[in-house]
Chains A and B, each alone.
Chain A
């Protein structure tokens, strides 16, 4: 046993062997996880090592969890220090950046993966519904019932309002890219997180239908945009 242990200790570890801890933690990509699973199935020595790793994994978590949490003093110190910082005028883009960072920070990698899948499904449904509504009510107007002139009096509901759109970003879009895109389009986020879609408003001025169509077309051609649909 001693001789065998010594032999193993002196050996250079194999690639699969080195990946075992990440397999135990569930942080390997699908391809590597499959490779490790296959190796574990055919190599009992590796499986024995993996059992030891799972034990280490559990005890490391236990140890860290036993460390407790910081006292309120740390938070008081932090926010006192922030209060003492010179006043800043954060730009609009910073606010947007912070909102996006906070939104993504709330999600674990697994949640993000599920959101992406659900988002893709919701995307198809929403695109269909929005498309149908837009085609049906292209004029976006209403007709008064009290007047009796030959021509109906209509008022464009969209008049005066800046254009809005539902936008879904590519799954690999970086926060910095999204922020830069929002800046370049002078866009702001009105609503976020529903099925991975963001409701954006562009600028502060109304646009004609042609301008909006051009804007959507330009937006749709952005590398980090998966879908852009104008909304009323």
Chain B
């Protein structure tokens, strides 16, 4: 368990944090996730990578935690909790820092879009693995990421960033 924890806890934490947007809740989340893994080790069938299994459990736990907090709809308020350290996208653009504006816009995506962007880009999950983690068909995975990127482009455009697409 220590090996498993040591190898995966940071990514599990970051995935959870991006979903719940609260460090304390995210830390509680990883304890719950690995405790579940400890309890259900015998049920792991090895059909997928361990990290995929862990991220699927993390997602389920994060959504449960969000439901418990009953503030999913107050997403903007929650976002403020971890976004205070950087400038608004517009200000970032004034500083000619497109990267910072992009990061800012990435945090402004909806939870549904955030998770799919993170799973594909950061956790390097394939279409099939994302489908398994999120529990949606593979074609929906592809279209959801496309529309997440489109939303990101809209946010960037509103912030004055032109990247040549769309």
Contacts and interface: CB of A to CB of B under 8 A. Distances in A.
A105 B103 CA distance: 30
A160 interface: no
A97 B8 CA distance: 18
Interface string A56-93: 11111111101101110111011001100100000000
Interface string B73-109: 0000000000000000000000000110011001100
Contacts of A51: 163-165
Interface string A108-146: 010000000000000000000000000000000000000
Contacts of A49: 164-166
A72 B126 CA distance: 31
B99 A62 contact: yes
A229 B103 CA distance: 55
Nearest to B44: A101
A18 B143 contact: yes
Contacts of B47: 174, 176
Contact of A78 (B5, B8, B103, B126): B5
Given A13-B146, A18-B142, A56 B121 contact: yes
A94 B41 contact: yes
A75 B163 contact: no
Contact of B26 (A21, A70, A174, A179): A70
Contacts of A82: 1, 35, 38
Contacts of A18: 142-143, 145-146
Contacts of B163: 51-52, 55
Dominant secondary structure at the A interface: helix
Interface string B39-76: 10110111101110000000000000000000000000
Interface in A177-218: 177-179
Nearest to B122: A64
A25 interface: yes
Contacts of A31: none
A225 interface: no
A77 B34 CA distance: 11
A76 to B, nearest CB: 9
Nearest to A100: B46
> In this complex, which of B26, B27, B39, B98 has the most chain A Cβ atoms within 10 angstroms of its Cβ?
B27
A73 B27 contact: yes
Contacts, number: 154
B46 A78 contact: no
A54 B46 CA distance: 32
Given A78-B31, A174-B46, A98 B41 contact: yes
B31 A74 contact: yes
B126 A22 contact: yes
Interface in B1-27: 1, 3-5, 7-10, 13-14, 17-18, 23, 26-27
B164 A70 contact: no
A223 interface: no
Contacts of A81: 31, 35
B22 to A, nearest CB: 12
A85 B118 contact: no
Contact of B106 (A63, A73, A102): A63
A5 interface: yes
A26 to B, nearest CB: 7
The 5 closest A-B pairs by CB, nearest first: A175-B46, A60-B121, A18-B142, A74-B27, A59-B102
